[in-house]
Amino acid sequence: MTSAQKTSARVNAAPAETPTFPLNAWYAAAWSHEIEHALAPRTICGKEIVLYRRTDGAVAALENACWHRLLPLSLGWLQGDEVVCGYHGLVFDAGGRCTHMPAQETINPSACVRTYPVIERHRLVWIWPGDPALADPAEMPDFHWNDGTEWIGEGGTYYGLRCDYRLIVDNLMDLTHETYVHAGSIGHDAITAASFDVTHTDRTATVTRWMLGIDPPPFWARNLGKPGLVDRWQIITFQAPSVVVGDVGVAPVGTGAQQGDRSQGVNGCFLAAITPATATTCHYFWNFVRTFKKDDEALTRSINLAHVNAEGKGLYDQDVTVLEAQQRAIETHPRLPFYNLNIDAGALWARRMIDRLLADEAQRSAPAAAAE
């Protein structure tokens, strides 16, 4: 590894002007059910955006600043499918074009606000904050587990979580933390004892861990409903820049799960779509879905509450406490680096891919100097 390739995992407090997230990517901005025929503001990758559902059902995403005097358009209202600014009444259509100016018979041709490409898929609304000409639906991350058909679960969002989105990627790419952060629930000494494999492609990194012949932790023992030892798996895949899918489950020991036959076991997936809001805040769209007891709505509810609940005692609440404390520590110790352990391999591959996307973007915007 050359020193240039080490950068982001070692130096946390990057100078403010160094971008930490690529703009040319699809990011989750909202759950589909959250976007109705009403103005919904979001901060995505440093951009202020207002979302709303048009009468034909499609979602529009406009820059949340009026062309005239920058009042957030989200403080205005909808008139049909057009947004009326709440200050002096300029009207913009879903394409960002001004269609009305007060007290004049023509419209200034420069008047418009930026629009962002939107794709609604897998129960989420995704936004492309970068160059619209590069917005390619083929680059959508695979998040089909969330579409509510084969896999069942109800998740949620931490909006405005106060940490660099990459800290969540680190967190999910290394589950040894379960033993410490989540001691007493999903944590298990077997996790720290088991060895793991890390593999990667151009855009993905995968950490695979098999714990064979162990005592099942309580959640899995209950849902497996069979006594005895189990083989447990955690196969966690990162898709650049910020989606993580963790395939997890248990099967009775020796029934061939590792060889591909999971029919005797129970299987779930934790899903994470992490969206940078600013360099130090993010939105964490999460879900836990399963293929067992799919009709059991009480189970769906209890899994949801086990992750996030009003008392702040959920699994993810525990992570959030750690993540926000970690972000504060980075800010109070700007010169202290991160050191890396063997367990960070998955996170390091993930950060390598993010860095690569960032380098591509930097190059795209400064080709002249580089070319000569």
Strands, sheet with 124-127, edge to edge from the N-terminal-most edge strand: 27-31, 124-127, 118-121
Place of tokens 């989200």: 74
Site string (73-112) toward Fe ion, x via CB under 5 A: ----------------------------------------
Site string (37-76) toward ligand FES, x via CB under 6 A: -----------------------------x-xx-x-----
β-bridge mates for residue 290, sequence order: 152, 268
Give least dist CB 277 to Fe ion, A.
20
Q: How far apart are CA 273 and CA 255, in angstroms?
A: 33
Contact between 365 and another protein per CB under 8 A: yes
β-bridge mates for residue 234, sequence order: 209, 248
Contacts with another protein by CB under 8 A: the residue count is: 26
- Near Fe ion by CB under 5 A, which window of 22-30, 125-133, 291-299, 313-321? 313-321
Give whichever of 116 and 270 is closer to another protein, judged by the CB atom.
116
User: Which of 13, 135, 117 minimizes the C-alpha distance to 62?
Assistant: 117
Give whichever of 231 and 319 is closer to Fe ion, judged by the CB atom.
319
What pairing do the DSSP bridges indicate for beta strands 204-214 and 196-200? antiparallel
Q: How far apart are CA 145 and CA 127, in angstroms?
A: 19
Q: Which of residues 110-149 bind another protein (CB under 8 A)?
A: 110, 112, 115, 117, 132-133
Three-point CA angle 219, 223, 228, nearest 5°: 85
CB-CB contact of 32 with 147 (8 Å) = no
CA 323 to the chain's CA centroid: 14
Q: Using CB under 8 A, which of 28, 44, 53, 96 touches another protein?
A: 96
- Near ligand FES by CB under 6 A, which window of 80-88, 216-224, 253-261, 305-313? 80-88
The one of Fe ion, ligand FES, another protein, none whose footprint includes residue 97, by CB under 5 to 8 A per kind, is: another protein
Structure tokens at 312: 């702040």
Q: What is the DSSP letter of 24?
A: S
Contact between 164 and another protein per CB under 8 A: no
The one of ligand FES, another protein, Fe ion, none whose footprint includes residue 319, by CB under 5 to 8 A per kind, is: Fe ion
* The amino acid at 270: F
Question: How many CB atoms sit inside 10 A of residue 180's CB?
Answer: 12
Q: Using CB under 6 A, which of 30, 40, 85, 266 touches ligand FES?
A: 85
Q: Which of residues 88-107 bind ligand FES (CB under 6 A)?
A: 88-90
The one of another protein, Fe ion, ligand FES, none whose footprint includes residue 364, by CB under 5 to 8 A per kind, is: another protein
CB-CB contact of 320 with 157 (8 Å) = no
Give least dist CB 101 to ligand FES, A.
8
Contact between 369 and another protein per CB under 8 A: yes
Burial of 255 (0-12, 13-18, 19+ CB in 10 A): middle
DSSP character string of 173-241: H-GGGHHHHTTTTT--HHHHHS-EEEEE-SSEEEEEEEEEEEPPPHHHHHHH---S-EEEEEEEEEETT
Q: Using CB under 8 A, which of 93, 164, 170, 344 touches another protein?
A: 93
- SS3 of 344, please? helix
- Near ligand FES by CB under 6 A, which window of 8-16, 85-93, 266-274, 287-295? 85-93
Place of tokens 């800010």: 331
The one of ligand FES, another protein, Fe ion, none whose footprint includes residue 66, by CB under 5 to 8 A per kind, is: ligand FES
Site string (314-343) toward Fe ion, x via CB under 5 A: -----x------------------------
| Residues near another protein, by CB under 8 A | 93, 95-99, 104-110, 112, 115, 117, 132-133, 364-369, 371-372
| Residues near ligand FES, by CB under 6 A | 66, 68-69, 71, 85, 87-90
| Residues near Fe ion, by CB under 5 A | 319
